[in-house]
Structure 1
């Protein structure tokens, strides 16, 4: 088995994913901060399992699951989708998110033959804004006061990564990881 692995989400992952998703650290970066019930979580799993418009993966390092990455609204005709992700384990090693993104973007562009992957980020999530830029995403939109959290409205930035751009930037991403002592194939 490889040091780094993506595997489709399965029933046995659900308890771990729910724990991650309901943690304060993850919820504060989501559009909805609500805690998710077990029933809601099971319904989500049924929905993503029954449709080819979704592709969700557990990311593992050295056989230890540490993150979730998902692709939704996969449109085969238009060749695009949206993505979302988080590192669930707080003690994940430096570079884990970049490795996860690298593997997932390669997989989706090559196996699903997509032309474009979109992401939406809360403006106050500086880590995710930087992450998208590091992976070669470009800003396509800025939605003012788009998401309400409590009494505050937060802007949302929409990003896009095109297949040809990814193929240009991924060597830079590999070099960045190599500088951290992480080798990608």
Structure 2
């Protein structure tokens, strides 16, 4: 029986168009605070900014030798209490066609949490999830993220409920 491989690697300029195509998939836009279609210019401005920002990391998730997701770490504070925030999105369309959505989703979360605590040596990992995204909220709980107090925000002309999440080094699940 073949073993699945899950890897996070640094994003490169060759990944930029692929990342944009995944980010603009309908499922990813609906799960994001900004749900408009990201333009090429907007995406390239973001890419230029994150590449030169020491408080950010952009990684590509590779599942069974195929790039299929992006993990971003931001607001990294690596002096004093080591904290950071994160988010991710997958090539939902491609993974669904191949019947690999759940294994990739579990894999990207496992790899991201390991990178946060074993690679970046964070004490706490923070994030956000939209209240209507019940599947992600369930998966976050499975990985022991704790939800904070929901808050209302306006984004892209709509009202959304954002729930902060956090996971401490001590609270994380180990393989």
TM-score in same-fold range (> 0.5): yes
Flag structure 1 segments of 5+ consecutive residues without an equivalent: 172-185
Q: Which residue in the other structure is 2:85 paired with?
A: 82
Q: Contact 2:36–2:156 at 8 Å: present in 1 too? A: no
Q: Do residues 170 (structure 1) and 174 (structure 2) align?
A: yes
Residue 42 of structure 2 aligns to a residue whose secondary structure is helix
CA contact (8 A) 2:76 2:85 kept: yes
Runs of at least 4 residues off by over 3 Å: 147-150
For residues 88 and 54 of structure 2, the distance between their equivalents in structure 1, rounded to whole angstroms, comes to 18
Which of the numbers 31, 34, 40 marks the counterpart of 1:32?
A: 34
Alignment of 1:31-180 (within 5 A): 31-77=33-79, 78-92=81-95, 93=100, 94-143=102-151, 145-148=152-155, 150=157, 152-166=158-172, 169-171=173-175
Two-structure CA RMSD over aligned residues (Å): 1.6
Unaligned runs of 5+ in 2: none
What is the CA-CA distance between 1:79 and the residue it aligns to?
A: 0.8
1:81–1:117 contact (8 Å) kept in structure 2:
yes
SS in 2 for 1:95: helix
- 2:11 is aligned, of 1, 9, 12, to 9
Query: What displacement does 1:24 show?
Result: 1.5
Q: Which has the higher contact order (CA 8 A, sep 6+)?
A: 2
In structure 1, C-alpha distance between the alignment counterparts of 2:154 and 2:146, rounded to whole Å: 21
- So what's the TM-score if we normalise by structure 2? 0.88
| Equivalent-residue separation in structure 1 for 2:147 and 2:166 (angstroms) | 6
1:38-68 deviations in Å (ceiling 9; x for gaps): 1111111111111111111111112101111
TM-score using structure 1 length: 0.84
